[in-house]
Structure 1
Protein backbone atom coordinates (compact mmCIF):
# COMPACT_ATOMS: atom_id res chain seq x y z
CA UNK A 1 0.00 0.00 0.00
CA UNK A 2 1.41 3.35 -0.97
CA UNK A 3 1.37 6.42 1.22
CA UNK A 4 -1.66 8.62 0.49
CA UNK A 5 -2.38 6.45 -2.57
CA UNK A 6 0.50 8.04 -4.45
CA UNK A 7 2.65 5.65 -6.44
CA UNK A 8 6.27 5.92 -7.45
CA UNK A 9 5.36 7.18 -10.94
CA UNK A 10 3.48 10.14 -9.53
CA UNK A 11 6.36 11.02 -7.22
CA UNK A 12 8.85 10.89 -10.11
CA UNK A 13 6.59 13.07 -12.28
CA UNK A 14 6.14 15.53 -9.41
CA UNK A 15 9.90 15.92 -8.87
CA UNK A 16 10.63 16.08 -12.60
CA UNK A 17 8.02 18.80 -13.12
CA UNK A 18 9.24 20.70 -10.06
CA UNK A 19 12.84 20.54 -11.27
CA UNK A 20 11.85 21.74 -14.73
CA UNK A 21 9.89 24.68 -13.30
CA UNK A 22 12.74 25.64 -10.98
CA UNK A 23 15.19 25.42 -13.90
CA UNK A 24 12.98 27.70 -15.99
CA UNK A 25 12.59 30.20 -13.17
CA UNK A 26 16.35 30.26 -12.57
CA UNK A 27 17.01 31.05 -16.24
CA UNK A 28 14.29 33.73 -16.16
CA UNK A 29 15.77 35.27 -13.01
CA UNK A 30 19.27 35.33 -14.51
CA UNK A 31 18.00 37.08 -17.66
CA UNK A 32 15.94 39.68 -15.76
CA UNK A 33 18.36 40.27 -12.89
CA UNK A 34 19.09 44.04 -12.72
CA UNK A 35 22.24 43.49 -10.63
CA UNK A 36 24.05 41.70 -13.49
CA UNK A 37 25.50 43.26 -16.63
CA UNK A 38 25.11 41.61 -20.05
CA UNK A 39 28.34 39.60 -19.85
CA UNK A 40 27.52 38.30 -16.38
CA UNK A 41 24.00 37.31 -17.51
CA UNK A 42 25.42 35.36 -20.45
CA UNK A 43 28.00 33.66 -18.25
CA UNK A 44 25.39 32.67 -15.65
CA UNK A 45 23.03 31.33 -18.30
CA UNK A 46 25.82 29.14 -19.69
CA UNK A 47 26.71 27.95 -16.17
CA UNK A 48 23.06 27.18 -15.39
CA UNK A 49 22.50 25.32 -18.68
CA UNK A 50 25.65 23.21 -18.55
CA UNK A 51 26.08 22.96 -14.79
CA UNK A 52 22.64 21.51 -14.11
CA UNK A 53 21.95 21.25 -10.37
CA UNK A 54 25.39 22.58 -9.44
CA UNK A 55 24.89 25.55 -11.78
CA UNK A 56 21.49 26.36 -10.28
CA UNK A 57 22.88 26.17 -6.77
CA UNK A 58 25.88 28.34 -7.60
CA UNK A 59 23.63 30.95 -9.19
CA UNK A 60 21.34 31.21 -6.16
CA UNK A 61 24.30 31.37 -3.76
CA UNK A 62 26.77 33.53 -5.69
CA UNK A 63 25.16 35.16 -8.70
CA UNK A 64 21.81 36.34 -7.45
CA UNK A 65 23.10 39.72 -6.26
CA UNK A 66 25.90 40.17 -8.79
CA UNK A 67 29.13 41.94 -7.91
CA UNK A 68 29.30 44.60 -5.26
CA UNK A 69 31.41 47.31 -6.91
Structure 2
Protein backbone atom coordinates (compact mmCIF):
# COMPACT_ATOMS: atom_id res chain seq x y z
CA UNK A 1 0.00 0.00 0.00
CA UNK A 2 2.84 2.39 0.76
CA UNK A 3 4.18 1.78 -2.77
CA UNK A 4 0.96 3.11 -4.23
CA UNK A 5 1.19 6.22 -2.07
CA UNK A 6 4.79 6.71 -3.18
CA UNK A 7 3.80 6.44 -6.85
CA UNK A 8 0.86 8.76 -6.28
CA UNK A 9 3.08 11.36 -4.59
CA UNK A 10 5.53 11.22 -7.52
CA UNK A 11 2.79 12.19 -9.96
CA UNK A 12 1.45 8.65 -10.16
CA UNK A 13 -0.45 8.85 -13.42
CA UNK A 14 2.50 10.15 -15.42
CA UNK A 15 4.96 7.72 -13.84
CA UNK A 16 2.67 4.76 -14.44
CA UNK A 17 2.07 5.86 -18.03
CA UNK A 18 5.81 6.15 -18.68
CA UNK A 19 6.47 2.70 -17.24
CA UNK A 20 3.71 1.10 -19.31
CA UNK A 21 4.81 2.96 -22.45
CA UNK A 22 8.39 1.84 -21.88
CA UNK A 23 7.35 -1.80 -21.52
CA UNK A 24 5.13 -1.64 -24.63
CA UNK A 25 7.89 0.05 -26.65
CA UNK A 26 10.45 -2.54 -25.54
CA UNK A 27 8.16 -5.37 -26.62
CA UNK A 28 7.59 -3.67 -30.00
CA UNK A 29 11.33 -3.12 -30.48
CA UNK A 30 12.17 -6.75 -29.64
CA UNK A 31 9.38 -8.00 -31.92
CA UNK A 32 10.74 -5.96 -34.84
CA UNK A 33 14.34 -7.09 -34.33
CA UNK A 34 13.32 -10.76 -34.10
CA UNK A 35 11.09 -10.40 -37.18
CA UNK A 36 13.97 -8.86 -39.15
CA UNK A 37 16.37 -11.61 -38.14
CA UNK A 38 13.92 -14.39 -39.07
CA UNK A 39 12.69 -12.87 -42.35
CA UNK A 40 14.04 -13.23 -45.86
CA UNK A 41 14.26 -10.05 -47.90
CA UNK A 42 14.32 -9.45 -51.66
CA UNK A 43 17.67 -7.70 -51.28
CA UNK A 44 20.10 -9.37 -48.84
CA UNK A 45 21.33 -5.97 -47.64
CA UNK A 46 17.85 -4.95 -46.47
CA UNK A 47 18.22 -7.00 -43.28
CA UNK A 48 21.23 -4.90 -42.25
CA UNK A 49 19.56 -1.68 -43.36
CA UNK A 50 16.43 -2.38 -41.27
CA UNK A 51 18.54 -3.24 -38.20
CA UNK A 52 20.40 0.07 -38.60
CA UNK A 53 17.13 1.99 -39.03
CA UNK A 54 15.71 0.46 -35.85
CA UNK A 55 18.91 1.08 -33.86
CA UNK A 56 19.41 4.70 -34.92
CA UNK A 57 15.78 5.71 -35.33
CA UNK A 58 14.91 4.72 -31.79
CA UNK A 59 11.40 6.08 -31.56
CA UNK A 60 10.26 5.98 -35.17
CA UNK A 61 12.35 3.04 -36.45
CA UNK A 62 10.08 0.18 -35.35
CA UNK A 63 7.01 2.03 -36.60
CA UNK A 64 8.61 2.65 -40.00
CA UNK A 65 9.55 -1.03 -40.19
CA UNK A 66 6.01 -2.15 -39.40
CA UNK A 67 4.59 0.18 -42.06
CA UNK A 68 7.17 -0.24 -44.85
CA UNK A 69 8.90 -3.51 -44.02
CA UNK A 70 6.38 -5.85 -45.65
CA UNK A 71 7.18 -4.50 -49.10
CA UNK A 72 10.84 -5.48 -48.81
CA UNK A 73 10.27 -9.09 -47.73
CA UNK A 74 10.12 -12.06 -50.05
CA UNK A 75 6.80 -13.82 -50.24
CA UNK A 76 6.78 -17.56 -49.59
CA UNK A 77 3.76 -19.46 -50.82
Q: Does the TM-score normalized on the shorter chain lie above 0.5?
A: yes
Instruction: Structure 1: state its 5+ residue gaps.
Output: none
Q: In the alignment, does 2:23 pair up with 1:17? A: yes
Q: CA deviation at 1:67?
A: 5.7
Number of residue equivalences: 63
Q: In the alignment, does 2:70 pair up with 1:46? A: no
Q: In the alignment, does 2:11 pair up with 1:8? A: no
Runs of 4+ in 1 over 3 A off after TM superposition: none
Instruction: Structure 2: state its 5+ residue gaps.
Output: 1-7
Tell me the residue number matched to 2:5. none
Select the structure of larger CA radius of gyration: 2
The CA RMSD over aligned residues, in Å, is 2.2
